[in-house]
Amino acid sequence: MPQTDAIDRDTHISTLAIVGPGLIGGSIAAALRVKGRVKQILGVGRNQASLAKALELGLIDKVVSVEEAATQADVILLATPVGATQALLQQMLPYLRDDTIITDAGSTKADVAKVAQEVLGLKAKNFVPGHPIAGSEATGPTAARADLYEGRVAILTPLEVNSEVVKETVTQLWRSCGARVLLMGAETHDQVLASVSHVPHFLSSVFMWQVASASDSDLRLAVAGSGFRDFTRIAAGSPEVWRDIFLSNRDAVLHELREVRMAFERAEQALHEADGPALEEFLERAALARRLWASRSGLV
Amino acid sequence: MPQTDAIDRDTHISTLAIVGPGLIGGSIAAALRVKGRVKQILGVGRNQASLAKALELGLIDKVVSVEEAATQADVILLATPVGATQALLQQMLPYLRDDTIITDAGSTKADVAKVAQEVLGLKAKNFVPGHPIAGSEATGPTAARADLYEGRVAILTPLEVNSEVVKETVTQLWRSCGARVLLMGAETHDQVLASVSHVPHFLSSVFMWQVASASDSDLRLAVAGSGFRDFTRIAAGSPEVWRDIFLSNRDAVLHELREVRMAFERAEQALHEADGPALEEFLERAALARRLWASRSGLV
């Protein structure tokens, strides 16, 4: 079997193709290179300047077309906005070998699973949807770091048709990057991420938009401090990527936003009534939960 | 004049009293000590363990009562939750000399100015309301740092009755800590801070409360990443301090919350309608504003 030659037990990948070697894809490339887990890395993308940079930084060995990547790679990683997945898979399909493994790093999973099954048909058995919980407001290959996934969680939401060896290969790929792999269903992933990732981005962006739109925004921004800095950091993220995330995970995000709005209105009502004990109880619960999370998560 | 002996032109303060030598007050003590701007620092507070710690760390030279501080100090800094200001000033008033300068570091200013004028009467001429825009989710004297105010903004909202020499003394105190001093009216301060400090704390706490209250909060918190970490960092702040801030600045905060809610609902509607261009335009504006702020603020 070609697969056992190309991808041995320690997950030495002979040829890896990364579609979109920016922060996410470039960091995987950097990590696998540092660990000596890959022989050759092909880079695919639309942005020529970005591909040239990835080449210059040694994240990829050469730039190829989507078709060449599909033909030559043993493992293909899609590290593009989730909205691009369908068109990419359609373009690749005619060229994929029967054992070419594909995975992605997109922020939503139910839509990716659906698209993969619809487009790839029987070859969906080799597609394992994934999502590393790591990132940065910086983008592009210059932001890539070999330690981006060190100690972080990588979620995989395998399809029912995935074989053990395919799942194991993708699991080992993430472990090689230093990540802890969690397996869950795609719907669970999307609900949970709507809460802890998509809603914060929504709120941070809404707030930043509102401040920037105020008539005295210059004065406001002149006195903004470190709390503002931390709270709004995620709002600097790629508008294109986040538009796709919100649209892909619309139902779960809208559900969570309704829950958040109810909490918002309760707290606002307590403030309106100048109800000190209710306000303090609410703030206390939030503060204790946040402190407990900090002590457990290892993220400081 | 005793004032010129006790506080010379380079703002060498003979005796400084800090009420509440925790993160904020302790960092002022540390900065003034490092710069050699103060001879003796008296510490006042309710929490004996915290005062003992401040003494042990060398932030204060001795622990005294409110009355002793009012009698002995040349400059008194109130670094307590704003809700404590009124009672403290009432307790101090009979003991204050005619030239004892008082300032505070409270997060709201219109209420502090009002309380100072009501309680201190003619002696309000020596009270300069202030607010350093610096902090941390850590609290207490162990979190104090000599460089906390370095390069940060300290806002002063002088009373009409303040003399130039009193304003200058407090201005120099903050400059000695490395801060850039901005003067503005108390109402302007409160409106601006409602926007860039109080609303983010409100939203971060509402969100943290909602996540912690969900039936699957454990799973949510297990996959929360660095975006969640930054967005919720401020929610760990002192519930008592923030209750007082919200109550003190209630009208301005409620006004801003209404504006934020309108922006929230607009963005939510765009998502509900799956309006990609509207979503992207909104995200783009937020991202550009945040990136511009980062490049100008010097806070990274």
3-state secondary structure string, A195-218? HHHHHHHHHHHHHHHHHHHCCCHH
Whether the CB of B224 is below 8 Å from some CB of chain A: the reply is yes
pLDDT for B241 equals 87
CB spacing of B200 vs A291 below 8 angstroms: no
CA pair distance A194, A198, nearest whole angstrom: 5
- Position A265 scores a pLDDT of 96
List of E strands, B105-257: 127-128, 130-132, 153-156, 180-183
Using CA atoms, how far apart are residues B43 and A106, in angstroms rounded to an integer? 54
pLDDT at A2: 42
Shortest Cα–Cα distance, A17 to chain B (Å): 26
pLDDT above 90 as % of chain B = 89
Q: What is the pLDDT of residue A5?
A: 47
Res A8 pLDDT > 60: no
How far does the CA of residue B51 sit from the closest CA of chain A (Å)? 24
Q: What is the mean pLDDT of residues B74-85?
A: 93
Closest to B214 (Cα-Cα) out of A181, A183, A191 = A191
Nearest CA in chain A to B197: A228
Q: Is the pLDDT at A4 greater than 80, yes or no? A: no
Q: What does the pLDDT read at residue A137?
A: 64
Place of tokens 């991808």: A7
The mean pLDDT of B157-169, rounded to a whole number, is 96
Q: Please report, for residues A70, A137, A166, B60, B116, the alpha-carbon distance to residue A77 in angstroms, rounded to integers and kept in the order given.
A: 11, 21, 13, 58, 64
Mean per-residue pLDDT of chain A: 94
Q: To the nearest whole percent, how much of chain A has pLDDT over 70?
A: 96
Question: How are strands ordered across the β-sheet holding A130-132?
Answer: A130-132, A153-156, A180-183
How far, CA to CA in Å, does B147 sit from each of A184, A290, B35, B57, B80? 45, 26, 11, 16, 20
> Would you state the pLDDT for residue A135?
75
- What is the predicted pLDDT for the residue at A297? 83
- What is the pLDDT at residue A298? 74
Count how many residues are written for chain B.
Answer: 300
Neighbours of B159 (CB within 10 A): 18
Torsion of CA A170, A174, A175, A180, to 10 degrees: -110
Residue A202 has pLDDT above 80, yes or no: yes
Q: Contact A280/B220, CB-based, under 8 Å?
A: no
Residues B84-110: what's their mean pLDDT? 96
Nearest to A279 among B246, B260, B261 (CB): B246
How confident is the prediction for chain B on average, in pLDDT?
Answer: 94
Token output for B188 = 């302007």
Shortest alpha-carbon distance between residue A223 and chain B (Å): 7
Instruction: Reply yes or no on whether the pLDDT at A189 is more than 90.
Output: yes
- Residue B31: which H helix or E strand, with range? helix B23-34
Query: How close does chain B come to A280, measured CA to CA in Å?
Result: 6
Of residues B82 and A24, more confidently modeled: A24
Q: pLDDT at position B300, please?
A: 64
Q: Does residue A10 carry a pLDDT above 70? A: no
Backbone angles phi, psi at A154, to 5 degrees: -115, 120
Mean pLDDT of B66-86: 95
- Amino acid sitting at position A234: I
Place B36 in a pLDDT band, splitting at 50, 70 and 90: very high
Question: Of the given ranges (A10-19, A133-142, B284-293), which has the lowest mean pLDDT?
Answer: A133-142
Residue B137 confidence (pLDDT): 65
Please answer yes or no on whether B286 and A193 come within 8 Å at the CB atom: no
- Write out chain B residues lying below 8 Å of A192, CB-based: 216, 219-220, 223
**What are residue A259's phi and psi, to 5 degrees?**
-65, -45
CB contact under 8 A, B290 and A136: no
- The pTM for the full model equals 0.83
The pLDDT of residue B10: 60
Q: Which residue of B has its CA nearest to A222?
A: B297
Three-state SS at B141: helix
Among A275, A193, A231, smallest CA distance to B202 is for: A231
Average pLDDT of span A98-108: 95
Task: Give B294→chain A minimum CA distance, Å.
Answer: 8
The whole-number average pLDDT for the span B268-285 is 98
Cβ–Cβ gap A230/B234 under 8 Å: yes
Q: Which of B135, B238, B260 sits opposite A210 (nearest CB)?
A: B260
Domains of chain A and any CATH numbers: 2-184 (3.40.50.720), 188-297 (1.10.3660.10)
- What is the rounded distance in angstroms from the CA atom of residue B298 to the CA atom of residue B300? 6
A192 touches chain B (CB under 8 A): yes
Q: Is B210 on the interface with A (CB under 8 A)?
A: yes
Identify the residue with better confidence: A58 or B107: A58
pLDDT confidence bin for A3, thresholds 50/70/90: very low
